[in-house]
Structure 1
Amino acid sequence: MKIIITSILLFLLFQSSIILSQNKDLGVGVILGDPSGLSVKYWTGESNAVDLAIGYSFIGSGAGLGIHLDYLYHVNNLIKSEELFIVYYGYGLRFRFPDNNPNVFGVRGVGGVLWYPKDLPIDVFAEIAPSFRLLPNAALDFSFGIGSRYYFKF
């Protein structure tokens, strides 16, 4: 089941990137937090992006494979600085496959800050994400992450 859902999410992410445009940036990197693993971000426009993370959560009884897929909005001018800092927020889906517990599905909100170093094709980010678990039972959860991605131009 884990492989099927992961395959579907990856297919949808990369299929949408082909359909939306050929002139967008794709960032690939790491996220540390909940979960820790691969982070992929695809810009669909000047202020919107799709974000995917697949990794392992080491926290508590929910330790196991974690996946989230978010749609993000970015606001460029909130932080005044010579460096480029961008605030972002969005919503998405969250899947958890704990090692010793039933699988979890939920929805999440996310907010964070990106930093783009001058003249480098990378970003550094920090985010928090409250989520509402829908299955197998309703509950509130909270996750976080810090990370960095390298951007490829198409």
Structure 2
Amino acid sequence: MNKTYILSVIVSLFIFSNLNFAQEKGFGLGVVLGEPTGISAKYWLTPGTALDFGLGYSFTSSNSLFDFYVDYVFHNSDMIHSTENFVVYYGPGARLKIKESTSRLGVRGVIGILWLPRGTNFDVFVEVAPILDIIPATKFDFSGGIGGRYFFN
């Protein structure tokens, strides 16, 4: 399968997704437990897109000091049919892993499920992200976690 076809399918999914959901503005701050464990933040850019940030410590890597990641995520509320407000999100991002001996920079793709409890300023999420480190050498990795954030509107 050629790369142009795959890229076309991914871009089409982003463009033609239905992006209606409840929480669509503001800045949220909270925690994420997983790989890495630390602080999670989200800043809504539009009703369907946001920047997700994370800064944490990796308990699974030897001599790791911290991980920082940022993702540009798209949201789709039509993928899960429920009386609750569940939203699927996905998008590209980057990760910087700082270690005592060296640092790694990579690209990542994230996919997750977001729960937006009605009438609150909270969200709860679970996500997984495959990572391809490109600097200083190519290495495949995974991260993921569960967390929650409070939104300051």
Output the TM-score relative to the length of structure 2: 0.81
Paired residue type of 1:144:
G
Question: How many residues get paired?
Answer: 130
Indicate the residue corresponding to 2:112 in structure 1.
112
**Cα deviation digits, residues 77-117 of structure 1 (max 9, x gap):** 11111110000000111000123x31010110000000011
Indicate the residue corresponding to 2:40 in structure 1.
39
Whether the 8 Å contact between 1:58 and 1:64 is mirrored in structure 2 is no
User: Against the structure 1 CA distance between its residues 133 and 62, is the aligned structure 2 distance closer, same or farther, given a 3 Å change threshold?
Assistant: farther
Higher share in helix: 1
* 1:71-150 matched pairs, under 5 angstroms: 71-99=72-100, 101-150=101-150
- For the residues of structure 1 that align with 2:87 and 2:117, how far apart are their CA atoms? 12
Whether the 8 Å contact between 1:62 and 1:96 is mirrored in structure 2 is no
Whether the 8 Å contact between 1:96 and 1:104 is mirrored in structure 2 is yes
Whether the 8 Å contact between 2:122 and 2:151 is mirrored in structure 1 is yes
* 5+ residue gaps, structure 2: 1-23
**Cα deviation digits, residues 35-65 of structure 1 (max 9, x gap):** 1111110010111000110111111336320
The DSSP-based 3-state class of the residue aligned with 1:106 is strand
Identity percentage of aligned residues: 44
Runs of 4+ in 1 over 4 A off after TM superposition: none
Over the aligned positions, Cα root-mean-square deviation in angstroms equals 1.3
* 5+ residue gaps, structure 1: 1-22
Output the TM-score relative to the length of structure 1: 0.81
